[in-house]
Amino acid sequence: MQGQGTIRLFKRGPTAEFRLFVFVVLSLSLLLVDSRWRVLDPARQAVSVALYPFQRLVLAPRDAIESVNGWFDAASLARTEKEALQRQRIELAQISTHAAQLAAENRLLRRLLNVSEMVSQASVAVEVLYEPPNAFTHHLVFNKGSSSGIEPGMPVIDEGGVVGQVIRVTPFTSEAALLTDEKISIPAQVLRNGLRVIVFGGSSSGKVEVRYLTNDADIVPGDTLITSGVGGYFPAGLLVAKVDHIERDAASGFAVAVASPLSHPERYRHFLVLRTDTTKSEASQEAKPSGSPSDKP
Amino acid sequence: MVRHPTNHKPAAPGLGKSSLSSLEPIDSAPFRRPSSGVFVWGTILLVWLFSLLPWRLWQPTPDLLLLVIAFWCLNEPRRVGMLTAFIFGLLMDVHDAGLLGEQALVYSLVAYGAITLTRRLQHFNPVVQAVHMLPVVVIAEGLSSLVHAWLASEWAGWGWLWSALFTVVLWPLADILLHLPQRRQEEIDSGAA
């Protein structure tokens, strides 16, 4: 332009249309790459780490109010908790004697069968930092990340059972998809008869589904589903859901059981992340860290 | 700029003598002085921080950050442009744990719309501006929803339409609040005159 001798009177960048084109192409390619591959995760992590101080900053008033509230409520809370715990202790005393008996018996049987001893699970207690406002997914963001030993793939539980699975981790935060998220599938079994199934995030909100059941499968409303331990991400024996009803499709020959999760991610702020060995299960069956530990029942 | 109460009769053409004070500007549209850069960026940062709080869980809630960025794109296109909109869109994508680029697309499109409408809308009142911005926001959000539906093969429902509507409805309020420093300046000026 200057070579032709014209004088630039006004500072002017590229035209608005050109800028729009650049940004639209950039956004679309980001969308495409992010929805198909995981190469953008480091960038997302970097931005997320940069965002973290701001997130903590704006949430500081809430946290302060909660801590003050908690301090004032502490006395009454302690009283009610004490009563509840006392009651629980009496109930548990019976159960624990029974459990001790069973454990001894189990050890004996395991030794007879040459099955290796079950290791107790290490865990990290986490608190919900915030719930991402996203219309498509049911996720929670926790206040601890890879610096506390959390890795993608680890299960998240509360006292009701499985809450979800960690899918993304930054140094200080971690993101978990809830049980009801479409991305999640959990190998489970029916507590009553040991039927192995896979529990999928439901198409209806707040529910999970057991798909690919044959029409004559022995599963009835009221059945409890627990994790089977197949696949390696979820340790065996965690409560998952209770079956509400069965939808049998005579045409396809398959049935779907709709179940309600037994955990309550919407009620509490504290959860437990089980530090299962995600590398081992990955190596053993090449499942994606975020994806489903998929195995056929 | 305040119109002086004239004691003189308006000078009719061809009547001979007329004093300078009887002259009135042909275009009496108020002259807008530019907002200060600190104020512009301060409001954007403030609203961005506010958007990090957990109040947007209900899908039809208005997108205040989009509103403020669009407002400054329209009124201060030299300071705030598509790059700003794109970057803040990306930041919101990361915070909301959505697909990267989803809100960045919406923000860039709305910023483009606002920048192209700058010349036409700058002298209109905020209600007319809001009416013009409605299709821009709806088209941007609709396109983004379509792209998401294509990529993730799930349709988000129509909550975004309400969100766009509520965002635009708040435009006049944004106009009042974000032009507050200028109004005060004008009052000071008219007081001095």
CA distance B41 to A224: 55
Of A47, A57, A131, the CB nearest to B94: A47
pLDDT in tens, B31-44: 567 778 888 899 99
Q: Is B180 on the interface with A (CB under 8 A)?
A: no
Q: Which of B65, B84, B95, B106 to mutate to probe the A interface, most A CBs <10 Å?
A: B95
B49 touches chain A (CB under 8 A): yes
Among the partner residues B53, B91, B101, nearest to A30 by beta-carbon distance = B101
Mean pLDDT, residues A111-121: 58
According to the model, what pLDDT value does residue B14 have? 44
Query: For residues A215 and A81, what is the distance between their CA atoms, to the nearest angstrom?
Result: 46
Hey, where are the domains in chain A? 123-286
Residues of A in contact with B82 (CB under 8 A): 16, 19-20, 23
Instruction: Using CA coordinates, name the residue in chain A closest to B61.
Output: A133
**pTM check: above 0.80:** no
Question: Digits of tens for pLDDT over chain B (193 positions)?
Answer: 444 444 444 444 444 455 666 666 555 555 567 778 888 899 999 999 988 888 877 778 888 999 999 999 888 888 888 899 999 999 998 888 888 888 999 999 999 999 888 888 877 888 888 898 999 999 999 998 888 888 877 777 788 888 899 999 998 898 888 888 888 877 887 776 5
pLDDT tens digits for range A8-38:
566 566 788 888 888 999 999 998 898 888 8
CATH number of A123-286, picked from 2.40.10.340, 3.40.50.300, 3.30.43.10, 2.40.50.140: 2.40.10.340
Return the residue in B80, B83, B84, B96 with the most chain A beta carbons within 10 A, the one to mutate for interface testing.
B96
pLDDT at A250: 76
**ipTM tops 0.85:** no
What lies within 8 Å, CB to CB, of A282 at 6+ separation is A153, A289
Q: Do B104 and A55 touch (CB under 8 A)?
A: no
- Locate B120 and state its tokens: 């036409």
Asked if B49's CB is within 8 angstroms of A51's CB, the reply is no
Q: Which residue has the tokens 């088209």?
A: B139
Chain B residues lying within 8 Å of A53, measured CB to CB = none
CB atoms within 10 A of CB A253: 10
Average pLDDT over residues A167-174: 89
Mean residue pLDDT across chain A: 80
Residue A109 in tokens: 């049987």
Question: Chain A: nearest CA to B90, how far in angstroms?
Answer: 9
